[in-house]
Amino acid sequence: MYNVKLINAAECKKEDLSEYDVIGFASGIYFGKFSKEIMDFAKNNLPSKKQVFLINTYGVKGNYTKGIEKIITEKSCRLIGTYGCKGFDTFGPFKLIGGIAKGHPNESDVKGAIEFFRKIVEK
């Protein structure tokens, strides 16, 4: 139904994304921001003037997209949407209690991400 290409930013350091109309970045949240691999990939590969969406998982709800949004702005791209949901988190003191948001993302979270994606690509 949709022509989607998934790229593992930890393994792929360079990719020509110029042929895509919409580009998404997905990451767990590490130290309050997207992973270093995703941030570096976006800095090095995001072409200018593209539509971009973001997906992330977090232990505690918050605004964790500021760093990657800065990259999007610097590339003269337009952020068309963000989806975030709970994700298992063992950072810092959460490790002592066995983590938080166990079992997440769950089936409902994944369905929410799929619905988010459908809405932004069908606009």
Portion of the chain with pLDDT greater than 70, in percent: 87
How many domains, the chain?
Answer: 1
Q: Is the pLDDT assigned to residue 6 strictly greater than 70? A: yes
Q: Is 70 inside a domain boundary?
A: yes
Q: Report which residue type is found at 28.
A: G
pLDDT of 38 > 80? The answer is yes
Q: Which residue has the higher pLDDT, 93 or 53?
A: 53
Q: Confirm whether 81 is domain-assigned.
A: yes
Specify if 15 maps to a domain.
Answer: no
Count the neighbouring beta carbons within 10 Å of the beta carbon of residue 72: 21
Q: Is the pLDDT of residue 93 over 70?
A: no
| Owning domain of residue 117 | 22-121
- Give a yes or no: residue 90 inside a domain: yes
Q: Is residue 1 part of a domain?
A: no
Longest dimension (CA), the chain: 46
Q: What is the DSSP string of 69-110?
A: HHHHHHTT-EEEEEEEEE--B--THHHHTT-BSTT-S-HHHH
Is residue 43 within 8 Å of residue 71, measured between CB atoms? yes
Q: How far is CA 54 from CA 9, 42, 51, 63, 107, in A?
A: 14, 11, 11, 12, 19
The reported pTM is 0.87
